[in-house]
Amino acid sequence: MSPHDRHADRIEELLSQMTLEEKAGQLNQEPSTVDVPIDMVEKGLVGSLICANSAYAGTDRQARVRAAALNELQRVAVERSRLGIPLLFARDVIHGHRTVGPIPLGQAASFWPEGVRRLAQIAAREARADGIHWTFTPMLDIARDPRWGRIAEGFGEDPHLASVMAEAVVRGFQESGLHTMSGMAACAKHYVGYGTAEGGRDYNTGEITPTTLENVYLPPFRAAAKAGVATVMAAFIEFDGKPATANGEILNGILRRRWGWDGVIVSDWNAVAELVHHGVAEDLAHAARLAILAGVDIDMAGGAYWRHLPELVRAGKVPQEVLDEAVRRVLRLKAACGLFDDPYTPEDAALVEIPDEHRTAARELARRAIVLLQNKGGLLPLRPGTRIGLVGPLANPAVRETFFGTWTLDGEEQDMTDILSALRSHPGPKEVWHALLPDEAVAQARLCDVVVAVVGEWRHRSGEDNSTTTLDLPPGQTELLQYLGKIGTPLVAVVAAGRSLALEPVLEAADAVLFAFHPGLESGPAIVDVLMGDAEPGGRLPVTFPRCLGQVPIYYNHKNTGRPVPNFRYRYVDRPDSPQFPFGFGLTYTAFEFRDLSVQWDPDGLRASVTVANTGGRDGEEVVQLYVRDDVASISRPVKELKAFRRVAVPAGGEVRVELTVPRNDLGFLDGEGRLHLEPGTFTVWVGPNSAEGLEARFRFEP
């Protein structure tokens, strides 16, 4: 019997004893581990604590939390409040805790859900030992605009890839049981459509049509709900005049009624109070009423619920049952987290050293999150016995923390090996020189055999509230690469960033380009593994890379329009209309050929099989990707949609037969009311290494 079933009677008993104030208190989430309002905890006016001191936790430095300090607070709730209801402790454990993995965009680039699940499992174990029960991940916002800094936190532009990763993260955090020391409650956020912020400007309004909402933005959330995610966070954004925090159609309507999901909905930071700024609420009380009626159970850091829900219920403006139901859900979550069995965390469980197996998991995932974009003359992997000049602003060991990426609250710099040390301890190179300043870099480039320039974005240039108006490298970096490129010494550019960038000048200047979405704790060793050929660059792009900012938004699963290429062309006069790199793209150190595609349709779905041959000289891994197009439908459908993928290892000279299946319902589409349409007709199928290449076949769909 699950803990919340075991405690069902206790929950009802508590509900019958609670005052309206205590009920509203359970729905109140207070920020901070520093200034905790002890008197409010004693009065039962706090239900959960978010262990962060500001609304910009992903960018601001946050105090570490320790089980002993949280236990002390817990004691106040359990021993000094009237009903002794324990507190729930939350924190943003976004892409690892002490063992920081690649940012989620990099995790998506791995196309390796098993590795993503493992990282989440490790994060759960480490964070739980610090006393944290609840994390605010995974972020499932489909993003088509890299100006939006939060693109770093999600799984990119594709609903299928994001759905697979959603399930992997939810399982990783939750599958061992929320009440165990290796489980935590996950939170699918930001529900929904937050990635549509106009101009890529964080918090901006979005425009979403009903069918785009259903087919593009909702699917990853549906996958998380299906995987049993314990909580969902409503987004800051508004579309169609309705801020998500007050949008009952998507919260109570779609999440709860249509999908039958029964978890806890939390607002984003201060978002209930911000309904006043949106201009849909007159004051805080009105905001509280709108949010609770829409289905938001917990008010994060907004102070609206505990201040106003009691009076709203007394005045008959919020039905008592609505309040009770929200409290019941919160108490059930507490029971599920084991808090009614033992509210305290053992104080000797916290990690002292990062265990080797945690590092290995982070390193394997990081290697598979690094994408090889260009490799002229097979410059990479670097030959042994060369003199390497390591240059560029991000090669500086003093800034190694940047490779953690955004939303790293608990990673510690001293746990990281920087690229320079990793390269110097590698037996391959004859010598490794390092230059800090551009002039020194140029001087060294004239003398060494190969230059490795590490450039890109520092960690707080992406993430929350870090939108940009350019997709160029930060100032000075392109010029440095261009200068180095002219010297004649072979040049490798390693670009680390939290978003896709417009890399045209980089590709012109450098012979080889490796792109690493900030890969986390093991960045240095993983980048060196790939540079030296101890590992393949395993990543594939989870977002389309534009040639320039003017092409944005550009994504592979667009519509055909009435004037497609090559007929009339919907195009630009000054640039090609194709992207720099398509979704799913990534080179390898070997060569793969796809052969003998066969597709079969049966009433359960589509079965495809293809032979993948490794025709190069090294063992390698390919990410086999299957795309479909519904050729004719009652509404226009995208030119291509990813429906299945598999990462396969193929030895040099060998081949494997790869089977991929697509369930029947995944070949349909939803209308604006969420009804599934399965329409008979022909479909085109492509199976290949990315969204722009592949073998093609057709089949007739007969649902």
- Annotated catalytic residues are 268
Which CB, 406 or 691, lies closer to ligand BGC?
Answer: 406
Question: Helix, strand or coil for residue 629?
Answer: strand
- Contact pick of 24, 33, 36, 92 for ligand BGC (by CB under 6 A): 92
Choice from 148, 221, 261, 269 touching ligand BGC (CB under 6 A): 269
User: Considering the complex, what minimum distance in angstroms separates the CB of residue 463 from ligand BGC?
Assistant: 9
The CB-nearest residue to ligand BGC is 136
Q: Closest CB to ligand BGC among 57 and 164?
A: 57
CB closer to ligand BGC, 57 vs 587: 57
Cis peptide before 381 (omega within 30 of 0): yes
| Cα 406 to Cα 518: distance, rounded to the nearest angstrom | 8
**Of 111 and 194, which has the nearer Cβ to ligand BGC?**
194
Of the two residues 92 and 457, which places its CB atom closer to ligand BGC in the complex? 92
Q: Report the nearest approach of ligand BGC to the CB of residue 407 (Å).
A: 8
Burial class of 495 by CB neighbour count within 10 A (0 to 12, 13 to 18, 19+): buried
Give the alpha-carbon dihedral of 331, 127, 458, 420, to 10 degrees.
Answer: -170
Q: How far is the CB of 51 from ligand BGC (least distance, A)?
A: 9
Q: Which is nearer to ligand BGC, 250 or 687 (CB)?
A: 250
- Cβ 269 to ligand BGC, closest distance in Å? 4
Q: Do residues 142 and 557 lie in contact, with contact meaning Cβ atoms separated by under 8 Å?
A: no
If 0-12 CB within 10 Å is exposed, 13-18 middle and 19+ buried, where does residue 315 land? exposed
Other CB atoms within 10 A of residue 324 CB? 16
Closest CA to 91 of 112, 111, 65: 65
Q: Which of residues 435-464 bind ligand BGC (CB under 6 A)?
A: 464
Residues 109-168 that bind ligand BGC (CB under 6 A): 136
Residue 337's identity, in one-letter code, is C
Kindly determine how many residues on this chain lie close enough to bind ligand BGC according to the rule CB under 6 A: 10
Check if the beta carbon of residue 667 is closer than 8 Å to that of residue 679.
Answer: no
Contacts of 93 (CB under 8 A, 6+ apart): 123, 124, 127, 132, 135, 136, 137, 184, 409, 410
Nearest distance in Å: CB 97, ligand BGC: 15
Choice between 49 and 388, CB closer to ligand BGC: 49
From residue 697, alpha-carbon distances to 440, 599, 608, 640, 700 in Å are 55, 7, 10, 13, 11
Shortest spacing between CB 544 and ligand BGC, in angstroms: 24
**Cβ-proximal residues to 556 (8 Å cutoff; 6+ apart), any chain:** 157, 158, 544, 579, 582, 583, 584, 639, 640, 691, 692
* Distance in angstroms (rounded) separating the CA atoms of residues 141 and 156: 8
Q: Enter the tokens of residue 653.
A: 């000279």
Nearer to ligand BGC, 205 or 578 (CB): 205
Which ranges of 502-599 would DSSP assign to H, the alpha helix? 504-509, 523-532
By rule CB under 6 A, what string of x and - marks binding of each residue 282-301 to ligand BGC?
A: --------------------
Q: Which is nearer to ligand BGC, 109 or 300 (CB)?
A: 300
Which one, 92 or 536, has the nearer CB to ligand BGC? 92
454 exposed, middle or buried (CB, 10 Å; 0-12, 13-18, 19+)?
Answer: buried
Of the candidates 457, 486, 462, the one whose C-alpha atom is nearest the C-alpha of residue 473 is 457
CB count within 10 Å of CB 96 equals 31
Q: How many Å apart are CA 659 and CA 605, to the nearest integer?
A: 13
Q: Which amino acid does the sequence have at 695? A: L
Tell whether residue 529 is a contact of ligand BGC (CB under 6 A).
no
Two tokens, residue 386: 């060369």
Closest CB 204 distance from ligand BGC, rounded Å: 14
Dihedral angle at the C-alpha atoms of 41, 42, 43, 47, nearest 10 degrees?
Answer: 30
| Min separation Cβ 423 and ligand BGC, Å | 35
CB of 300 to ligand BGC, least distance (A): 7
Q: Is the peptide bond before 31 cis (omega within 30 degrees of 0)?
A: no
Find the shortest distance in angstroms from Cβ 278 to ligand BGC: 16
Helix ranges (H only) for 341-396 are: 356-367
Task: Work out which of 98, 189, 286, 637 binds ligand BGC, going by CB under 6 A.
Answer: 189
Choice from 30, 268, 299, 511 touching ligand BGC (CB under 6 A)? 268
**Two structure tokens written together for 451:** 């230059």
Report in angstroms the alpha-carbon separations of 591 from 430, 448, 493.
28, 29, 22
Query: To the nearest whole angstrom, how small is the minimum distance from the Cβ of residue 468 to ligand BGC?
Result: 18
Q: Could you give the CA distance from residue 103 to residue 366 in angstroms, rounded to a whole number?
A: 9
Compute the distance between CA of residue 611 and CA of residue 660 in angstroms, rounded to an integer.
11
By rule CB under 6 A, what string of x and - marks binding of each residue 30-59 to ligand BGC? --------------------x-x--x-x--
Binders of ligand BGC among residues 387 to 416 (CB under 6 A) are: none
* Closer residue to ligand BGC in complex, CB, 268/364: 268
**Contacting positions for ligand BGC (CB under 6 A):** 50, 52, 55, 57, 92, 136, 189, 268-269, 464
